[in-house]
Amino acid sequence: GTLLAFAENRLDGCGDQGTHNLVVRRSSDNGATWGPLITVFAGVVPCPGCPAAVSNPNPVEVTFPNGTRSILLAFDTMNNPRPWSHGLDMTMWSHDDGVSWVGARATEYPPQPNVGSLIGPAVGLQLQAPEARGQIVFWITSGFLAVSKDYGETFTASQHVLKEPCCSECSIAFAAGPGNSTLIMNCRSGQDSRRAQLYWSLLDNGTYASTEPTYPTQLTDPGC
């Protein structure tokens, strides 16, 4: 199989607010060697006076009903957005194991507006549980999951996380494997140098709802 390693190529320094491109390297020998840098998306200025600081690549391998697979990448066009100064959340596809990338477009997830919130930064997930087979989810840092029930063509927003504000950038994973629809997240919280932990469950009406966050003593976060 092919391994993909994504990154922000920060062209003019290490800061969050410089000029960035999203890039990937490919390995076809289980990581022993890596191919050349491939530009997935070149940063563009998303608003007047804003940096071209595209950020937070979140990939997910999508398996379609006919058995074919493609890579869906979600990202945002400006790091550290503000309500008055932001880019957009976007998605694009690779149908050849990361060699080329097409179809970049802004993501809609009604009823929430697309205000360029940070995504992840982690990965997307595709569920295999019978009650949610094929669904794709990404974490949006303004407090909800973006959920697709049609293999990444369209998205809707889940319920907001309980007890906001609790969570900003988060890692997301299956709590008990892809055959179970319960998700777990580990998040930066800004609360007493502790990380937040919470779960998402699929409700009977087809949307996701979160537990209240906990702050395990073992999960420390000194901040940046």
Beta bridge partners of 62: 70
Residues 6+ apart with CB under 8 A from 172: 120, 122, 123, 125, 137, 138, 139, 183, 184, 185
The pTM assigned to this predicted structure is: 0.94
Please check whether residue 20 is in contact with residue 53, taking contact to mean a CB–CB distance below 8 angstroms. yes
Q: Does position 180 have pLDDT exceeding 90, yes or no?
A: no
Q: Give the chain's mean pLDDT.
A: 92
Q: Taking residues 66-95, what's their average pLDDT? A: 94
What is d(CA 74, CA 125) in angstroms, rounded to the nearest whole number? 11
> Cα 204–208–214 angle (5° rounding)?
125
* Nearest residue to 6 (alpha-carbon basis) of 63, 80, 60, 52: 60
User: Looking at residue 74, what is its pLDDT?
Assistant: 98
